[in-house]
Structure 1
Amino acid sequence: MKLTFLGTSAGKPTRERNVTALALAFDQDSKWYLFDCGEATQHQILKSTLSLSKLDTIFITHLHGDHYYGLPGLLSSKKLDKALSPLRIYGPKGITEFLTCFMDISQEHLGYVLEIIEVKAEDTLVFDKFSLKVLALVHSVESFAYALKEHDITNKLDEKKLRALGLVPSPLYGELQRGNSITFKGKELDAASYMLAAVRGRNVIISGDNSEPDILGEALEGLDLLVHESTYTQSVYDKLPTKFLHTTAKDLGICAQKKAVKNLIATHISPRYAKEGTYNIGMICDEIQQYFHGKCFIANDFDVFYLGRDGVVKKL
């Protein structure tokens, strides 16, 4: 499972970071999925190895501009690229009105099927590689996290055992995978006896803006990977004259540790934090790691991470 960060800034772009967008691709799958689509996401895609022609579905976490203002340009460019495969967009109430308005006013005729589905908290969606549950967050507008559970692999044959009997790959393998018994060399082979143990699917939560990571509750327990905002360090947040509903590095670290999250990637970083300067990005990482003892990364634009079936995250 590969995650490509196309934008990691909070609120507005900086010289180092664009606003929020994250691409997700599964092993041995040509298509990919986009989570949020801030302004200029299509520019970021051009600088990556991703292709609009392979984009299958977009999930919008909430209707703040830094998470969805990139949609009109991306949808139009898809047409101009003659990438006319159907596209689905899931998001909160209001996403249909926004996209319909853009298409009506600009007289945009996309030339491909665009399906817009408004979701609500606790909805469950099923796709060919995974299921997804919509989780409510705490923010100034309705905001969601998307909890993905990859399907378990339950039909993998014990090829070594079959070959020991003299049965090499053939249509009979397909019968066994479908759970049907077969006869080989006069002996009946029961399908269940030649299946490997199920391979557990990976589970990931990709969160929108959220001031209370604890609200994710049981969904966090033993989670393979949490992608969550970490907009401020605690000391900066405490000094803000106006408090915004975002998570601090301290609160994120405490929550992830308490719920035994295996891997954490922090994103949606306040523009005040840069690679160098009074507020540097290392401050976010250092504060999280005071409280969280699992594997932690701070995402930068164009960072690519791989979550293996062993539950280990590696930066590629």
Structure 2
Amino acid sequence: MQLTFLGTSAGKPTRERNVSALALEFEQDNKWYLFDCGEATQHQILRSRLSIGKLDTIFITHMHGDHYYGLPGLLSSKKLDTAFRPLTLYGPTGIKKFLECVIDVSFENLGYTLKIIEYKAEETFGFDKFSLKVLSLEHSIESFAFYIKENDITNRLNEAKLRSFGLEPSPLYGELQRGNCITFQGKKLEPGEFMLPPERGRRLIIAGDNSKPEILGRYLKEIDLLVHECTYTQQDYDHLQAKVLHTTAKDLGKAVQKRHVKNVIASHINPRYNNHSIKGTDVLYHEIKAYYKGRVFIANDLDVYRLSKDGMVEKL
């Protein structure tokens, strides 16, 4: 499973960061999924190894412009690229009205089928390789997180055991995987005798803007990865004249430590933390680590991370 960060800035683009967008890919798949689509996301896709033609589904976390203003351009370019693969878009209430106002979303105009689904909190949707549940967050408007659970693999054959019986890979393997009995050298072989234990699917949460990571509560337990905003250090947030509903590095660190989250990737970085200022992103990293013992990464644009089957995250 790979995650490509196409935009990691909070609120507005900077010289170093574009606004929110994240791509998710699964192994042995011919499509990918986009979470949020801030302005100029299509430009970021051009700078990555991703193809608009293989984009299958878009998920929008909330109706703040830095998370969805890139949709009209992306959807239009898909037509110009003659990438006519159907596309489904999941978003909160209002996303359909926005797109219908900005562009003609009919098949006659786009040249491909665009299905728009406005979700509600606690809804669950099923996909080829995973299920996704919509979770409410706390922000200045309705904002949501997506709890993604990869399907467990339940049809893994114990090939070593089959070979010990003299049965080499053949179409009979497929019959066992489908739950059918087979006969080999006059012996009846039951599928249950040759199956490995189920392999647990990976679990992760991709969150939109949120002032209280603790609101995710029990969903943080036993996940392999949390992708969450980390807009300010606590000190900088405390000195803001007008408070905004965003997460501090301190609050993020405390919440994930309490729930023993394995890996955290922080994004949605305030523009004040940059390579040309006194305060770089290291201050965010160290503040999270002051409260959290797990693995932390501060995402940059075009970073690619791999979440392995054993739940380890590495930056590629």
Aligned position for 2:210: 210
Question: 1:241 aligned to 2:244?
Answer: no
What are the ranges of 5 or more consecutive residues in structure 2 without an aligned counterpart?
none
Shift of 1:261: 0.2
In the other structure, the counterpart of 1:135 is 135
Within 1, Cα distance between the matches of 2:106 and 2:246? 34
Structure 2 residue 18 is the aligned partner of structure 1 residue 9:
no
Q: 1:268/1:108 Cα in 2 relative to 1: closer, same or farther (>3 Å)?
A: farther
1:242-284 Cα shifts (integer Å, max 9, x gaps): 0000000000000000000000000000011102422211111
In 2, Cα distance between equivalents of 1:80 and 1:134: 32
Q: Which residue of 1 aligns with 2:120?
A: 120
With structure 2 as the length reference, what TM-score do the two structures score?
A: 0.98
CA, structure 1 residues 3+214, in 2 after alignment: closer, same or farther (shift >3 Å)?
Answer: same
Deviations 1:46-80 (A, max 9, x none): 00000000000000000000000000000000000
Q: Structure 2 counterpart of 1:307, which letter?
A: L
Report the counterpart of residue 79 of structure 1 in structure 2: 79
SS at match of 1:146: strand
* Cross-structure match for 2:180: 180
CA distance in 2, matches of 1:111, 1:134: 30
What residue in structure 2 maps to residue 159 of structure 1? 159
Listed as ranges, the gaps of 5+ residues in structure 1 are none
Letter in 2 for 1:113: T
Alignment of 1:219-230 (within 5 A): 219-230=219-230
Work out the CA distance in 2 between the residues paired with 1:263 and 1:105: 38
Q: Which residue identity lines up with residue 173 of structure 2 in the other structure?
A: Y
| 2-structure distance, mates of 1:126, 1:43 | 30
The alpha-carbon distance between structure 1 residues 33 and 106, as it changes in their structure 2 partners (threshold 3 A), is: closer
Q: Which moved more, 1:172-181 or 1:303-312?
A: 172-181
Q: What is the aligned-residue RMSD (CA, Å)?
A: 1.3
Letter in 1 for 2:110: L
Give the alignment of 1:1-316 within 5 angstroms: 1-104=1-104, 109-316=109-316
Percent pairwise identity: 67
Structure 1 CA distance, aligned partners of 2:278 and 2:293? 26
How much does 1:101 deviate?
1.1
User: Displaced runs of 4+ in structure 1, greater than 6 A?
Assistant: 105-108
SS at match of 2:110: coil
* TM-score normalised by the chain length of structure 1: 0.98
What is the Cα deviation at residue 106 of structure 1?
A: 12
- The structure-2 alpha-carbon separation of the partners of 1:43 and 1:263, relative to structure 1 and needing over 3 Å to count, comes to same
Aligned length: 316
